[in-house]
Amino acid sequence: MAERKVQSNGIELWTESFGDSRDPAILLVMGASAQGIAWPEELIEQLVAGGHFVIRYDHRDTGQSTCFDFQKNPYTLADMAADTVGLLDAYGITAAHLVGASMGGMISQMVSILHPERVRTLTVMMSTPLRPATLESIQQAIQGRTTTEAPLPPPAPHIIEMHMAAASKPPVTRQEHIDFQVKMVRALSGSAAPFDEPDIRRKVERMLERARNPAAAMNHGLVPSATHEQAEALKRLRVPTLVIHGSEDPILPPAHGVAVAETIPGARLLMLQGLGHDFPRPLLGEMARAILTHAGSRA
């Protein structure tokens, strides 16, 4: 593995690569407010063994990448997609297999419609299709407000309750922030594996320690949804697409994954039983095999 900071779209992004750079590239795009290190190394090792050069990175406003004052410098999913394309440029990669999780799946969809020539295949994990008002509806739901436009199911009640409790009494100390994040990861987990609190706590602590500005990650909750034109373009996408979703996803219920597969022409849906909005160790092998089969593998 090799860490590297690159200039992309006028900002600095922290990246980490694995494997042989001569192999076809897989770019892992993480979700909202999450750092690149949230991608499990066990999954990455299997993708490398399958004959791929794998890159993960910190989005703007997360980890060791550039942070913003969102009120002064607001940005969109298209801007975050431009970050991704600039990262490929920095590595000298003409086209890559994109694997995006949660909001990273939306960013990867955006790259695919704006720069289809840069995408060999698209894998959308635990995400939702590009649609107007989608992100705003989710934010309204977790804040306990009535959604004005919600064609897909809202997050589960226990997720909404946790966010509302945190809003009424937000964590203040470092330990309170860690405890809340651990509690949230538990709430997002499915039944595929027992919750490993010590491991999750170590990961949360590591992310907090390496973040330039931990509070900046909340800016991702302010990013606006796709435009109507972008949503319509998704319906005409010709990039080979695999959709992986969990039967127990509590923040983006299964209907969201079904909607992605129904929106993108020719997309294939893999619904994993017991998967929540997480990466349980027992399912990493099945995830890796599906991605490798979709992208092409020498394994």
Tell me the pLDDT tens digit for each residue of 89-143.
Answer: 999 999 999 999 999 999 999 999 999 999 999 999 999 999 998 888 888 888 7
From edge to edge, which strands make up the β-sheet containing 11-18? Answer: 2-8, 11-18, 53-57, 25-29, 96-101, 119-125, 241-246, 268-272
- The reported pTM is 0.95
Domain range for residue 155? 2-295
Total domains in the fold of the chain: 1
Rg of the chain, C-alpha, whole Å: 18
Per-residue pLDDT tens for 167-202? 888 899 999 999 999 999 999 999 999 999 999 999
Q: Which residues contact 223 (CB under 8 A, 6 or more apart)?
A: 32, 75, 76, 77, 80, 103, 135
Per-residue pLDDT tens for 8-22? 999 999 999 999 999
**245, pLDDT greater than 60:** yes
**146, pLDDT greater than 80:** no
Positions annotated as catalytic residues are 102, 249, 277
Tell me the CATH number at 129: 3.40.50.1820
- What mean pLDDT comes out for the span 240-256? 98
List C-alpha distances in Å: 125 to 95, 210, 272: 20, 25, 11
- What mean pLDDT comes out for the span 148-173? 86
**Alpha-carbon distance 86 to 115, whole Å?**
11
